[in-house]
A and B are shown apart, each in its own frame.
Chain A
Amino acid sequence: MADFIEGIIKVWNGYGPSFLNGALNTLIVSFIGTVAGCIIGFGVGVVQTIPVDKKDPLWKRVILTAVNLILKGYVELFRGTPMIVQSVFIYYGARMVFDYQIDVWPAALLIVSINTGAYMAETVRGGILSIDPGQTEGAKAIGMNHVQTMMNVIIPQAFRNIIPQIGNNFIINIKDTSVLSVISFADLFFTHKSAVGALYLYFESATITMAIYLVMTVTASFLLRLLEKKLDGDDNYDLATTDTLAYTSGMLSYHQKEKTLEDFK
């Protein structure tokens, strides 16, 4: 046991800053990848839910069908293959096919983004389809077109509903970006491999690595739960003043509220 603690100290003394730097890189690539993946996912999900009307011109239906086929292919491809294989495929494949050596950072961001995008696309599509059709009808009934309906009514609600899944994707990314060490991306796991390569203290280094991953995922899920609580909002609302005379002069804000019991608690 004393050996073990000594080993840990030794690893930490030699590689502490590297571990922290690796952890930071893990967080950065996970975060940016999740955000970019969300944007991709929303793009794909929104396109996939464009309604086709029998009255639409043929060219529109043909293009939409073709685009949807491509998007479906993208989703299947990146959900159906491991990210570690996608990493080598993109990193080394780009060099072979396009004669272009993509840098490690852009490669890492690209891989995580399009991988997350494929998962988010399905989530977003489900999120959009699960919104009560009455919401769409309410929007149509006041003359909104499809884009206006999506932007103002459906996407905000779908987004709110899938925040937990976005959070899950972020947490999964924190863990799964460890595969990026295969393209020598200097994340936390890559630091572990470097430390082990030099010191041969496998168990000690792995313990430190595990601990840091755990701290990151637990913190992330805690913050997410806070965010969700906040977004749920309180169930109270301020009654605007009932003095209707006050509205006649173009008054627009109703910040003054009557004191309620809540204020005295």
Chain B
Amino acid sequence: MSENIIEIQHLEKNFGSHKVLSDIDFSVKKGDVTTIIGVSGSGKSTLLRCINVLETPSGGKILFHGNDIDEKGFSVTDYRAKVGMVFQNFNLFSNMSVLQNCVVGQVKVLGKKKAEAEETAKYFLEKVGMLPYINAKPKQLSGGQKQRVAIARALAMEPEVLLFDEPTSALDPQMVGEVLAVMRQLAAEGLTMIVVTHEMAFARDVSSHVVFMKDGVIWEEGTPEDIFVNPKKDETKDFLARFIN
């Protein structure tokens, strides 16, 4: 059995007195594709944001290769460079071209030479089909194109794990496919991913592990077959019934 890259233990998050996550436990191994499903407001984004330390957890632990990320001396910025994130709203740097978006992190954070960083950026931009657009600014791209660039930007950091927070939810329906195709390819190539999504077909076909969340807790989890074919809890069945039709 291979080592856990990320291990989450009893994670809790409160916003004031509002309990958003409680007692979240799960772990991710190299090559795992974990999808997190659940209605909106169930805490999926908050969970991902805690994993990437965009939110500070209120309790519990997150271990990265066995090291507590809250420990003194643990570098959050180094950690974030290894745990990438793709956002629902892309968050591309609007003052930079497509190429610069994919280069800046490599140069400033990883300390790579510009030429090398550009090669890497182009490699990943080609992978997501955005190489012809390297000189474009984000505002000149469609949503699907932006998201593919955002994926390339995250990949260019060569992270160990990539987190996706509803990467297709802000897209027009005709653009969802192009982004999902890229994600399917990445999964097939063995990239470790944690994906929050409402795309049930993607979750069913691509995941190694599915987590169903409700009201800030993991209600049910298992293989895609466990969740989509033989769900045990009524809540899971209700949720799926609403999404599958």
- Which A residues are closer than 8 A to B by beta carbons? 54-55, 132, 134-135, 137-145, 148, 152-153, 156-157, 160, 233, 235, 237-242, 244, 247, 250, 252, 254
Contact = CB atoms under 8 A, between A and B. Distances in A.
Nearest to B122: A247
Contacts of A252: 115, 118
A244 B92 CA distance: 24
A148 B132 CA distance: 28
B39 to A, nearest CB: 23
Contact of A250 (B84, B105, B119): B119
A143 to B, nearest CB: 3
Considering the complex of A and B, which 6 residue pairs feature the smallest CB-CB distances, nearest first? A143-B81, A138-B91, A142-B105, A141-B85, A134-B91, A143-B109
Interface string B14-57: 00000000000000000000000000000000000000101010
Contact of A152 (B79, B104, B110, B150): B104
Contacts of A139: 93
Interface residues of B, number: 42
Given A142-B80, A157-B94, A252-B118, 10 more contacts: A132-B91, A134-B90, A137-B87, A138-B90, A138-B93, A143-B78, A144-B109, A240-B133, A240-B134, A250-B119
A148 to B, nearest CB: 5
B137 interface: yes
Given A244-B126, A252-B115, A144 B91 contact: no
Interface of B: 52, 54, 56, 77-82, 84-85, 87, 89-95, 97, 104-105, 108-110, 115, 118-119, 122, 126, 131-137, 140, 150, 153-154, 157
B127 to A, nearest CB: 11
B30 to A, nearest CB: 20
A157 B157 CA distance: 23
Contacts of A233: 137
Given A235-B140, A237-B137, A247-B131, A141 B91 contact: yes
B97 to A, nearest CB: 8
A254 B135 CA distance: 9
A219 to B, nearest CB: 29
A232 to B, nearest CB: 11
A255 B147 CA distance: 26
Contact of A142 (B56, B97, B109, B135): B109
A240 B98 CA distance: 12
A157 B137 CA distance: 13
Nearest to A238: B135
A247 to B, nearest CB: 6
A242 B109 CA distance: 30
Given A237-B140, A244-B126, A252-B115, A141 B132 contact: no
A141 B135 contact: no
Contact of A135 (B52, B91, B110): B91
Contacts of B122: 247
22 contacts: A55-B56, A134-B89, A137-B85, A137-B87, A137-B91, A138-B93, A138-B150, A140-B80, A141-B52, A142-B84, A142-B157, A143-B80, A144-B77, A152-B104, A153-B93, A160-B95, A233-B137, A237-B97, A237-B140, A240-B134, A252-B115, A254-B134
Nearest to B86: A141
Most buried by A among B52, B89, B105, B115: B105
Contacts of A240: 131-135
A242 B132 contact: yes
B133 A239 contact: yes
Contacts of A143: 77-82, 105, 109-110, 157
Nearest to B52: A141
A119 B55 CA distance: 34
